[in-house]
Amino acid sequence: MSADDNTRAFDEGIVTDFSSRMSYGSYLALDELLALQRPVSEPEHHDELLFIIQHQTSELWLKLLLHELRSARASLQADDIGTALKRIARVKHIQETLTQQWSVLATLTPTEYSEFRGFLANSSGFQSHQYRAVEFILGNKNERMLSVFDSDPAARAVLASLLAEPSLYDEFLRYLARLGFGVPDSVLSRDVTKAYVMHPELVPVFREIYESATENWRVYEACEELVDLEDNFQFWRFRHLRTVQRTIGMKSGTGGSSGAGFLERALSLTFFPELFAVRTEIGT
């Protein structure tokens, strides 16, 4: 760098001719990607671009989240707990990024949002099929949700498939059973199309794991990773709720939901209830 012009030196070996080579932009399809932010407000409102990018980037992270959760589930099916834990560790970092993103959207004031909210019509995050897919693969299943996607056959097919498949937790419990832990048959044979609910008879299995962690370190570690995953999901839900409350208060959602009230009720949902229930039993 020259002291006179404060310009970084240009390395001679840097490639500049991309007439027949793949470039950064072509690999990432940036022409297409950066053309997908299409504000609909008239006249175009300054803050609508923030709103679009927030939700588009969230959908990209949800795509990766689902990709990693599918791989973690397949790894458990193959008794590969190491790969499953690696995938879940990545999921946790993605969740943290998704949660932090709410702080950017929270800079949108109620007045600013109200100036273009009407242009959104009935579009709503409630209609994110990828978010529902993540909930489904984690065990919060609801067949009624499929009707929201009747006009989008591809999205509906993704959810219908996940509805019929075991969740990540189902596969973890089956893995424990194959290791010799006393997972009840009622749990192993449950209807996987239904939302997972608490099975009190499973709590002693986890108490055994937690109270003999040294002998069962890998599954003990997996239990704690799942607890982290659920905690992170709840943090995301909470930040979503608080961002909605500070932006639209208690107004109904654009898609017809009750808005903040609907999001608040979601905080009572759980993915891995026995992993939290066992904490009451340990040491008693």
* Structural domains of the chain ordered from first start: 44-118+126-281 (1.20.58.480)
Supply the pLDDT for residue 1: 52
Supply the pLDDT for residue 194: 98
Which contacts (CB < 8 Å, 24+ apart) does range 115-123 have?
115/41, 115/45, 115/47, 116/39, 116/41, 116/45, 116/47, 116/48, 116/51, 117/248, 117/254, 119/40, 119/41, 119/42, 119/48, 120/40, 120/254, 121/254, 122/254, 122/255, 122/256, 123/254, 123/255
Supply the pLDDT for residue 260: 82
Average per-residue pLDDT in the chain? Answer: 94
pLDDT at position 255 over 90: no
pLDDT at position 123 over 90: no
How many Cβ atoms from other residues are within 10 Å of residue 134's Cβ? 20
Supply the pLDDT for residue 5: 78
Mean predicted confidence (pLDDT) in 145-156: 96
pLDDT at position 52 over 90: yes
Q: Which residues are annotated as a binding site for heme?
A: 240
One-letter amino acid for residue 264 of the chain: E
pLDDT at position 176 over 80: yes
pLDDT band at 193 (very low <50, low <70, confident <90, very high): very high
- In this structure, of 45-54, 91-100, 135-144, 264-273, the range with the lowest mean pLDDT score is 264-273
Supply the pLDDT for residue 4: 67
Mean predicted confidence (pLDDT) in 161-185: 98
Q: Which two tokens stand for residue 139?
A: 């065990």
Q: What is the pLDDT of residues 195-237, one digit of tens each?
A: 999 999 999 999 999 999 999 999 999 999 999 999 999 999 9
Q: Which residues are annotated as a binding site for substrate?
A: 51-55, 113, 117, 254
> pTM for the complete prediction?
0.93
| CA atoms within 13 A of residue 11's CA, in its CB half-sphere | 3
Supply the pLDDT for residue 282: 93
Supply the pLDDT for residue 7: 85
Q: Which residues are annotated as a binding site?
A: 51-55, 113, 117, 240, 254
Instruction: Report d(CA 55, CA 96) in Å as an integer.
Output: 16
How many Cβ atoms from other residues are within 10 Å of residue 45's Cβ? 18
Among residues 106, 101, 120, the alpha carbon closest in space to that of 60 is found at 101
Among residues 129, 81, 156, the alpha carbon closest in space to that of 73 is found at 81
Q: What is the pLDDT of residues 63-112, one digit of tens each?
A: 999 999 999 999 999 999 999 999 999 999 999 999 999 999 999 999 99
Instruction: Report d(CA 222, CA 235) in Å as an integer.
Output: 20
